[in-house]
Amino acid sequence: LVSRMQSFGTTIFAEMSALAVRTGAINLGQGFPDTDGPRVMLDAAKAAIDSGRNQYPPGPGVPELLDAVAAHQERFYGLRVDPTSQVLVTVGATEAIASVVLALCEPGDEVVTFEPYYDSYTATIALAGATRRTSVLRFPDFAVDEESLRAAFSARTRLVLLNTPHNPTGKVFSRAELELVADLAREHDAWVVTDEVYEHLVFDDSVHIPMATLPGMAERTITISSAGKTFSATGWKVGWLTGPTEAVAAARTVKQFLTYVASGPFQPAVAMALGLGDDVYAELASSLQAKRDLLCEALQASGLTVSRPRGTYFVIADAAPLGAVDGLEFARRLPELAGVVGVPVSVFHDDQDAARTLVRFAFCKQDDVLVEASRRLSRVR
């Protein structure tokens, strides 16, 4: 294994899902829903298979999905992108992130991101031979710290890798925070790559603000999303990016040699789903909000301190009040203590002290699963 990848072993998600299987614990570790997305979308994929759409689709994506992504950006955010030159379909958001970072970063360039970070960011930055510079979002409110963010920028900054709503914190970036990032990106003439896979999973009165909607930012912003989260189809691995023609063309060049094309029959099905009514989008968010409340209450009742998320399907809890001193060790013991699996947040940090005793739990599970998890969690006290 090349030296730049040697610090990356098995992902924490694989480790914790295997632990859940081995111990029979309820898996609130890896984030994936235990119910399927809209029935009509599933039927559309079957219909695509039955109608023979089983060979290589066009490299950039099937035309109806390119159109649907463009229509989605306009419908929800008033953003206009040209479907043929400013949209690229990818194998999940993961490939979108990889193709754009590999397309835009030279070895030695710097990428500014926040920590905790989604694990593929660090691996992808390393693959590109670039260096990450981070600013810490601190429990429990995870506010952006202007001083450390400013300090993360330098003359070598090539891009900012942003994620809102944010995994694993459940934070939804405010307009003021996004404006600060935008100002710094402009000052350093950097690209902003914004991972918005949880764009429709926001709660209460929170509003998701796409970076590309800020004045003057569309021309330097590449926006990424995925059907995995919006339509509860993480296994389909249909994602996309939109942005300025030049950046999309660069990502397309790289993407050709990562996977060539994305999976054929799922693309028309996702295109159809993107056009579903507002009620479909709203129902997912409201059902997740109720699940958030259920799990947050259970964690609190069990003695953990909770940071109530405004978006995503993750909640971070602090196990320190239970006497935990090491979140990784606590997470590894949790199946035995309580028959539940969570993910230690320290694995998403460079600064280990920022997350010593924090654990992330996923609540994208059926209510009876969450109720049973809550019952089990009451044992850890």
What are the helix and strand counts (H, E) for the chain? 13, 13
Residues 6+ away with beta carbon under 8 Å from 217: 182, 185, 192, 211
Please identify, among the stretches 16-24, 88-96, 212-220, 317-325, the one whose residues bind ligand PMP according to the rule CB under 6 A. 88-96
Which of ligand GLN, ligand PMP, none interacts with 169 (beta carbon under 5 to 8 A by kind)? none
Q: How far is CA 1 from CA 5, 52, 154, in A?
A: 7, 40, 30
Query: Which of 91, 62, 80 has the alpha carbon at shortest distance from 240?
Result: 91
Among 73, 99, 164, 226, binds ligand PMP (CB under 6 A): 226
- Give the residue closest to ligand PMP by C-beta: 92
Q: Are 150 and 184 in contact (CB under 8 A)?
A: yes
Site for ligand GLN in 109-168 (CB under 6 A): 167
Whole-angstrom distance, CA of residue 286 vs CA of residue 202: 9
197 binds ligand PMP (CB under 6 A): yes
Least distance to ligand PMP from the beta carbon of 314, Å? Answer: 8
Q: Which residues pair with 192 in a beta bridge?
A: 160, 221
13 binds ligand GLN (CB under 6 A): yes
Tell me how many residues contact ligand GLN (CB under 6 A): 5
Whole-angstrom distance, CA of residue 364 vs CA of residue 233: 12
Among 239, 335, 342, 344, binds ligand PMP (CB under 6 A): 239
Residue type for position 275: G
169 binds ligand GLN (CB under 6 A): no
Q: Are 322 and 381 in contact (CB under 8 A)?
A: yes
Which of ligand PMP, ligand GLN, none interacts with 30 (beta carbon under 5 to 8 A by kind)? ligand GLN
Whole-angstrom distance, CA of residue 101 vs CA of residue 86: 17
Whole-angstrom distance, CA of residue 294 vs CA of residue 58: 44
Please identify, among the stretches 71-79, 86-94, 240-248, 347-355, the one whose residues bind ligand PMP according to the rule CB under 6 A. 86-94
Tokens of 83: 């479907």
Least distance to ligand GLN from the beta carbon of 31, Å? Answer: 3
118 or 330, CB closer to ligand GLN?
Answer: 118
Which of ligand PMP, ligand GLN, none interacts with 93 (beta carbon under 5 to 8 A by kind)? ligand PMP
60 or 228, CB closer to ligand PMP?
Answer: 228
Whole-angstrom distance, CA of residue 365 vs CA of residue 27: 9
Return residues touching ligand PMP (CB under 6 A). 31, 92-94, 118, 163, 167, 195, 197, 226, 228, 234, 237, 239
Return residues touching ligand GLN (CB under 6 A). 11, 13, 30-31, 167
